[in-house]
Amino acid sequence: MAGSPCHLNAQCNNTIGSFTCKCKTGYTGNGTHCSDINECLTPTTCHSNAQCRNTVGSFTCNCSQGYVSNGFQCFDINECLSMSTNNCHMNATCSNTDGGFICFCNSGFTGDGVNCQVLATPAPLPLNAVVFEIITTININFTSPQKANAIINLDKELLVVALAPIPGYHSVRKISDRQGSVIVTSEAIFTTSQT
């Protein structure tokens, strides 16, 4: 108020023969000097899945991408419930994650989940081939198809390194993979000596 000894962002209260000044909500100080409180410096102001934005004398909370509500409470959006909220390929499975989603190509397909192609038909085997099926399970939930694909490729490389020294080794080929917790089905092919 005009002529008040209190700060512009303070409330002046008249008392008998005097007055008091108290900074308004969102400000700190002695009433004659008031400065904005940055509420965002307190980690519990907004929900842990929200962004805090300090404003003059106040603040706002907005849920992060992948979450919805008022910023004080934020709930995960299940992007897999609608094709309009995820970009998974039609031959992929959408897996909801906290604040997002991951796409994994279905069995018989390969790719990053956004782009999936049919696994190539393997070349015909030699007549004297012996085939062993090898199933590798890696129980880690991967947060991206790129990490899962790197493990799948590493699995094949490790099988080649382990099997190549065995007499009659011919090749290793991936038959299918399922990401999430990675399960890779491979075939180890050996040829027998012809007599």
Fold of 129-191: Dodecin subunit-like (3.30.1660)
Domain with CATH 2.10.25 in the chain: 40-76
The Cα 103–Cα 183 span in angstroms is 16
- Coil, strand or helix: which one is 163? helix
Of the candidates 33, 36, 13, 10, which has an alpha carbon nearest to the alpha carbon of residue 23?
10
The predicted structure's pLDDT at residue 44: 86
- As a CATH number, domain 40-76 is 2.10.25
The predicted structure's pLDDT at residue 1: 46
Of the candidates 115, 114, 93, which has an alpha carbon nearest to the alpha carbon of residue 178?
93
Domain with CATH 3.30.1660 in the chain: 129-191
Phi-psi region of 175 (alpha: psi -120 to 50; beta: other; left: phi over 0): alpha
The rounded average pLDDT for each run of 10 residues, N- to C-terminus, in the chain (195 residues) is 81 93 95 95 92 95 94 94 90 87 82 83 70 68 63 70 75 62 66 63
The predicted structure's pLDDT at residue 31: 95
The predicted structure's pLDDT at residue 150: 67
pLDDT tens digits, 141-159: 666 666 666 666 666 677 7
The predicted structure's pLDDT at residue 61: 96
Q: Which amino acid, one-letter code, is at 135?
A: I
The predicted structure's pLDDT at residue 141: 60
The predicted structure's pLDDT at residue 173: 66
> Could you tell me which residues are beta bridge partners of residue 187?
133, 173
The predicted structure's pLDDT at residue 164: 74
pTM score? 0.54
| CB contact at 8 A, 21 and 11 | yes
* C-alpha torsion sign, points 177, 182, 185, 189: positive
The alpha-helical segments, DSSP class H, found in the chain are 145-163
The predicted structure's pLDDT at residue 139: 61
